[in-house]
Each structure stands twice: as C-alpha cells, then as structure tokens.
Amino acid sequence: MKKTIGETGRRGFLKQGAALVSGAASAGLAPGANAQGLAGQPWERVYGAGFTGYGQPSRFEQPVMRHIGRPYGDLAPGSGSALAPIESLEGIITPSGLHNIRSHSGTPDIDPKQHQLLLHGLVARPLVFSMEALWRYPMTTRTHFVECSGNSNRALAPQPVQLPAGAMHGNIACSEWTGVPLRMLLDEAGLLPQARWLLAEGADSAHMSRSIPVEKALDDAMIALYQNGERLRPEQGYPVRLLLPGWEGNMSVKWLRRLKATEGPTHTKDETSKYTDLLPDGRALQFTFEMGVKSVITKPSSTMTLPRTGFYEISGIAWSGAGRIRRVEISTDGGATWADAALIGEERPKSLVRFRLPWEWTGREAVLQSRATDEKGQVQPARKAWLAQYSVNPYHNNSIVSWAVGGDGNVKNVYV
C-alpha cells in the first residue's frame, strides 16, 4: 500500500466513506437518497426514453464544456484554442468531444473523397494517397497525449489567475489513436539517402507546416485516421493528421495534405516566427520537439471548494514526451514533504497517467503540489527554477502547479 498523507490512512478513509452513506442527510447527500429505497424516484415509475443513433452525455452534465479562447474574437472565431476541462474528467482518455483544440485558421470542412495526401520530394517514387487507399493499409493503435507547447502559458501571468485547472493547463488531451505507421508509407515511396527531414503541410487556410526529422518519422510517427474508435473529429484533423507521439502538438499537423522529403529543415513560419523558445539574453532555441515531464492535480483544483473537513482523494494527470511516467509525488505543505501517489496507466509511453492519493483535510491551510518523474529520470521542475531559465518564453512551461486550500475550503491558484 502506498503512503497516505494524513493520520488516519486508507482504513479510516473507507470507514468514513461507509459512515457517509448511512448518515446521508448530514453528509450533504440529496434528501431523496434515504426515501429512494421505499417509494422510488419518479423515473423509476415511467417508461424510459427511446434509442438514439449517436449518444450524448446526460443533460445534467451539460456544463462540462471546453474552455474556449478566441484571441481575435468574431474576426477569426476558429483561431486560438479550446482547452479540455481536465478538472471535470477522470481516467486518462479525453472524450473526443472534449479534446483540446488548437487551430490557427479554423476547422476546414474537408470532403474525404476529394482530399489527398501527397508524398514527394527526395523519394524514389512520389505517391498520392486517397483516403480510401490509406484506409486499406495495416494499422496500429496507440494511446498518446497531444499537448500544445503553449499549454500552461496562462500560469505565467504576473498574478495567478483564478480559473478552473483546464482553462490554464487543459491545452492537452489523450486519445487512443489508430492509423498507418508513417514508416510504411515512406518505405513504399523509397526515401533517398540524402532525405533527412520531411515537410508536413496542412490543408487549412493557414497551411500550417512543420519540418520533421526523418528519425522521428521512421520511429513512432503515425498517419492517424481514427480517434477513440471513431474517424477523427474535424477539429482534430479529419480526415487525416500526422501524429508525432510525445512531441509538441504543433508538429502533429492536422488535415495533412503533403509530406515532402528534404535535405534540411524548411524553416516555415510556424517554426521560426512561432514555436521557438526565447531566452532571457534575446537568443531563441529552435526545434524544442519533446514535451517535458509534467503533472497537474485536477481534483481538488482551483475554483473548487472543499465542503467539509475529512477525507479526499487527490487525483490528477501526469505525462512525459520522453516516455513513461515512473513516479508522481504529492505535497500538501507547499513542497516541504512529499508522498508517492498510486499510478494508473504508467505502462504506456507518451500517454497520460492518472495518479491518486487519499488525503485527510483537517481544516488547516494547505498547498497542494504534484511532481512527476519519468523513466529517463527527468523530474518536473519547480516554478522558480523554470522561470530562471525561461522567464520570457510562453512555451514549454512544465513547472510544478500549486493549489492553495484556504481555511474556508476554497481552492486557489497560487505561485510558490
């Protein structure tokens, strides 16, 4: 059993849980919970709704929505990002309808019968794939996160903003992706020896483009066609996207229309004027591909309130672009002491992992933090250490997140 924060431990947690059920009214459960066993609720006495062709969440869950940011307002309503409401989600898979969206020029309305993928440049045999042709290749299925390198840039505001966790740290999602290994298509086209990079270009009006090293293309890059068992959602790149597991989301080019094998990087606008890391001395790093080791507590998290003292489960998500998550530690005293959380899903590389730790809140002020370590031994940096290195850079903020629990139970975003 993992170490527990608080005095009573897991047994006390379970005991109190049972007590909550018998003392339902005093614990704040609906008064109907007691009456239910006798007469039953109204819905137990009438015939239920009919079938639907495509299911939707309960109408009682409709407040669970993406956090939409539109920096250009009505001028460009599809430019910007819509962040996943990670504070409302559990497990590691992001429902497709709540996957974060980061798009530069809106979601194109692509007819898969007209769309093609061109593979050309330094190849022996240039190829054009219809979507139907791609669909006939052997496929692979893997669970991976996609994180925008701009994720958590709102946590760089001079003063901590008070927003739900997802509105700051939800420019990430994790799906089960299915598609054709890019290696297979490159083999068929016959990469020439001098081909060291691939230009990947999207069919949106921004023609978002990035240069990809051939080593990554031949490693675990995927031409993704399915997301969580369904064809890709339009916002995620329907009918076809590039997926580069563990690398900054920007490189997973959506609505993929072209791959061109080249000798060197193309230096597109999306990898020169944007997605470079400015350093305090005015120089900038180009090509920070891998996403750093990171974690965030989603429950409890900012803007939530703990209604009473007692036991809570601290839960959240961790991930690393370098591979698997090996450890997540949790502190409830702002980093003075740490305890190991239990991990779920840590066998999957470049995927979200769910961590959990029971915690007893005694009513005292607390500062909750999580710190992830990956299989390469990389440890999530403290906020101050990260800022010392990248004070002016809006990308790749993987520093430790702190939530302060006040004596009143209100949870706030704080800088520690």
Ligand X SMILES: Nc1nc2c(c(=O)[nH]1)N[C@H]1C(S)=C(S)[C@@H](COP(=O)(O)O)O[C@H]1N2
Contact positions vs Mo ion (CB under 5 A): 102, 148, 249-250
How many C-beta neighbours within 10 Å does residue 261 have?
Answer: 23
User: Applying CB under 6 A, what is the total number of residues that bind ligand X?
Assistant: 21
**Residue 198 found at the interface with ligand X (CB under 6 A):** no
Contacted by 260, from ligand X, Mo ion, none: CB < 5 to 8 Å by type: none
Cα 253 vs. chain centroid, distance in angstroms?
16
- The answer to whether 371 and 331 have CB atoms below 8 angstroms apart is yes
* Peptide bond just before 300 cis, omega within 30 deg: yes
Q: Which does 288 bind (CB under 5 to 8 A by kind): Mo ion, ligand X, none?
A: none
Q: What one-character DSSP code corresponds to residue 151?
A: T
Cβ proximity to ligand X: between 181 and 202 the closer is 202
**Residue number closest to Mo ion, CB atom:** 148
In the list Mo ion, ligand X, none, the entry touching 146 (Cβ below 5 to 8 angstroms by class) is ligand X
> What single letter denotes the amino acid at residue 384?
K
Beta strands 310-319 and 353-361: pairing type?
Answer: antiparallel
CB of 146 to Mo ion, least distance (A): 9
If the CB atoms of residues 253 and 293 are measured against ligand X, the closer one turns out to be 253
Query: Which of 210/348 has CB closer to Mo ion?
Result: 210
Residue 250 C-beta: closest distance to ligand X, Å: 4
Does the protein bind ligand X through residue 260 (CB under 6 A)? no
- What is the separation of C-alpha 107 from the centre of its chain, rounded to a whole number of angstroms? 19
Pattern of binders to ligand X over 214-243, x per CB under 6 A? Answer: ---------------------xx-------
Nearest to 234 by CA among 205, 199, 259, 204: 204
**Contact between 249 and ligand X per CB under 6 A:** yes
Chosen from Mo ion, ligand X, none, partner binding at 220 (C-beta under 5 to 8 Å by type) = none
Written as six digits, the tokens of 281 are 């001395």
Residues in CB range of 187: below 8 A, 6 or more apart? none
Strand, coil or helix: 249: helix
Binding site for ligand X (CB under 6 A): 99-104, 146, 148, 173, 202, 204, 206, 208, 235-236, 249-250, 252-255
